[in-house]
Amino acid sequence: MKRAKQIIERLIFDRPIKIGTRVANRYEICSFIGQGSYGLVYKVKDHELNDICVLKQARRSRKKSYLRSPFHYERISLQKLVLYSYFPNVREEIVENDHYFLAEDIIEGKTFEEIVFHDHKMYSVNEAFTILQQLLEIVEVMHENQIVHRDLRLPNIIVNGDMIKVIDFGLSRSLVNQKKHVQLNSHQCIDEKPLMREIAPQSDLYALGHTTLFLLYSSFQPHNRKEESWEEELTLPNDAVSIIRKLLQRETPYRTASEARREVEAFLFNSITP
């Protein structure tokens, strides 16, 4: 019943805004991009700057759960990262007719979700770990600025040429004054969602472990119907297995993104050195 009620509330309260509508007398809705659990996203024309950007709209059906602006954390995080080209810039936060909006620069390119599942691109081990190296450099920047993303999944990572960018900071949090990360031993049961949502650097590293596995599985050809673990199914060098296990906290986890990046760089160097 609760699920049905949520669906009905979304149908009533969360309808996309009509094409051509202006928000704050500035942003004209051009097209509806999509939606997630927290909101709707539009491509809009900014009539003040005379360009195209993105406008996010929070779900009215979730209004009761908002203790503050639903875009508070995203806005704060992106403002701290404004000097870096890896992330979208925030234009402004808007409250209009009981709706919350956030305007951001548009990030052109394709998400890894589109590339892997729709374009069916296949990545070699070296290609996957080169991408991991780039992502760790980006995560280093976030963590150095005391920001943890907590949602580094394929749809939130965009590729444009040789450039990788990260979007959707809705679940991001500050690392300032957070409790120390609790290290698990290899025999403890690991629950994925709490690790992804932990306010600690390791949550982003854990997510990158899964992202790397998705890239590696893009070129995987199953030989039988029996489902096995990734370590059994994928043919990987021992050093590559160890790196992924540390990211996933199956071995002593990396303390920082810098530590992980150095091991990835060493792996890539050794893989091309005769």
For the four alpha carbons of 175, 180, 186 and 187, in that order, the dihedral sign comes to negative
Residue pair 151/211 in contact by the 8 Å Cβ criterion: no
Helical (H) or strand (E) element with 43: strand 39-46
Residue for token pair 């779900």: 59
How many other C-beta atoms are found inside a 10 Å radius of the C-beta of residue 192? Answer: 11
Residue for token pair 């508070």: 72
* Among candidate residues 167, 151, 170, 168, the one with its CA nearest the CA of residue 71: 170
> HEC states along 164-210?
EEECCCCCCEECCCCCCCCCCCCCCCCCHHHHHHCCCHHHHHHHHHH
Quote the CA–CA distance of 115 and 128 in Å, as a whole number. 13
The order of strands in the sheet holding 27-35 is 22-23, 27-35, 39-46, 51-58, 99-105, 90-96
Quote the CA–CA distance of 13 and 61 in Å, as a whole number. 6
Which residues contact residue 230 at a Cβ distance below 8 angstroms, ignoring those fewer than 6 apart? 213, 216, 217, 244
For residue 262, count CB atoms less than 10 angstroms from its CB and return exposed for 0-12, middle for 13-18, buried for 19 or more. middle
For the chain, the C-alpha Rg in angstroms (whole number) is 20
User: Is 56 known as a binding-site position?
Assistant: yes
Residue ranges of the binding site for ATP? 56
Residue ranges of the binding site? 56
